[in-house]
Amino acid sequence: MTFARRTAAPNGPPGRTLEHARRHVATWLTAPTWVILMALFAVPLAVGVYLSFRSENLSSLGGGEFIGFENYTREVLSRDFVAALRTTVLVMVIGMVVQLPLALVLAVFLRWNLRGTRFYRSVLLLPMLLTPVAVGLMWRFMLNTDLGIINWLLTETGFGAVRWLGDPASAIAAVVLVDSWQAVPFLMLLLLAGLAGLSGEPEAAAAVDGANGFQVFRYVTLPMLKPVLLVALMLRLIDGIKLFDTIFIVTGGGPGTATQTLSLLDYRVGFTFLATSRGAAIGVVLALMTLPVYFIWRRVIGVEAR
């Protein structure tokens, strides 16, 4: 109370004064964290924006000149960029269509807390604990046309072998499969936490009124779970835009450029062709693509809160 009096305004209410003091202290306590975040995020972003307006390359940094928006017009309007954007959207949309419903089904199954739920939950969470590089290498061996276990199982069960990584359509399917295998456990855990935080009274009231299990889930549980579903959707949209490591390890962007996403194109332009400024321009565009996702989510959450 002494600290509150020292920081109090002459005529301020005690409750408001104490709240102001707490916010003031919290601001100073979190200041080092904000400084670190600015150093790790804002500074590299500013350097990237600066390079995107110049004609720098990795072999001779500092020898370029200011060229304005030429890198943006050159890259964004290029055929490779449009193809990579199409692939990024395709992988992202197919992934969300597969991952969110599957994660929701698994979360509902685990919520029932049937016999063996702890064992199933532990097994389902294992893919989330592995690094993307390890997952990519494992699935690359499994999807091998001649030596992979998946084609062996298909052959043994009477189906023919599939050129998973040699055909554009099957390569896209392989990328979605590998990405989903690692992403679904996280989404499942997120949705399971959301289900655990729901009040059971509306569901019980709906059941008493005669609604069956599906109707309770459709008209009561899902609407209450909508904010968590929006968070999961937002996270997967951002992850889909910047998806790189899985594709780099599993397909390398092939066959040809069939699975080359924007992140992989950015890597190739910046580090394979050493075109630093052009790569920076693509990186800035990728960063800008994630902003609408966040603002749309914030707007929807704000409407829901009202």
The domain that holds 244 is classified in CATH as 1.10.3720.10
Q: Is residue 36 part of a domain?
A: yes
User: Do 38 and 155 belong together in one domain?
Assistant: no
State how far the Cα of 221 lies from the Cα of 2, in Å rounded to an integer. Answer: 48
User: Do 121 and 249 belong together in one domain?
Assistant: yes
Q: Is residue 60 part of a domain?
A: no
User: Do 14 and 88 belong together in one domain?
Assistant: no
User: Do 209 and 107 belong together in one domain?
Assistant: yes
Neighbour count for residue 238 (Cβ, 10 Å): 16
Q: Is residue 31 part of a domain?
A: yes
Q: Is residue 73 part of a domain?
A: no
20 token code pair: 């102001």
State residue 91's pLDDT score: 95
Q: Confirm if 151 and 174 have CB atoms less than 8 A apart.
A: no
User: Do 110 and 149 belong together in one domain?
Assistant: yes
Domain count along the chain = 2
Helix (H) or strand (E) holding 40: none
Q: Confirm if 110 and 188 have CB atoms less than 8 A apart.
A: yes
Q: Confirm if 292 and 300 have CB atoms less than 8 A apart.
A: no
State residue 301's pLDDT score: 65
Q: Is residue 137 part of a domain?
A: yes
User: Do 231 and 276 belong together in one domain?
Assistant: yes
Q: Is residue 61 part of a domain?
A: no
User: Do 117 and 204 belong together in one domain?
Assistant: yes
Domain span at residue 20 reads: 2-52
User: Do 271 and 178 belong together in one domain?
Assistant: yes
User: Do 125 and 248 belong together in one domain?
Assistant: yes
User: Do 121 and 184 belong together in one domain?
Assistant: yes
Q: Is residue 284 part of a domain?
A: yes
State how far the Cα of 227 lies from the Cα of 300, in Å rounded to an integer. Answer: 9
Per-residue pLDDT of the chain (306 residues; tens, 9 = 90+): 444 444 444 454 555 687 778 887 888 888 888 888 888 888 888 989 999 999 888 777 667 788 989 999 988 889 999 999 999 999 999 999 999 999 999 999 998 888 888 888 888 899 988 999 999 999 999 999 888 999 999 999 988 888 999 999 999 999 999 999 999 999 999 999 999 988 888 888 988 888 888 888 899 999 999 889 988 998 898 898 889 999 999 999 989 899 999 999 999 999 888 899 999 999 999 988 888 877 777 776 665 555
**pTM passes above 0.75:** yes
- Report the helix count and the strand count for the chain, using DSSP H and E: 15, 0
User: Do 163 and 204 belong together in one domain?
Assistant: yes
Q: At what angle do helices 222-241 and 276-305 cross, to 10 degrees?
A: 170
State how far the Cα of 95 lies from the Cα of 240, in Å rounded to an integer. Answer: 8
User: Do 86 and 37 belong together in one domain?
Assistant: no
54 DSSP β-pair partners: 66
Q: Is residue 9 part of a domain?
A: yes
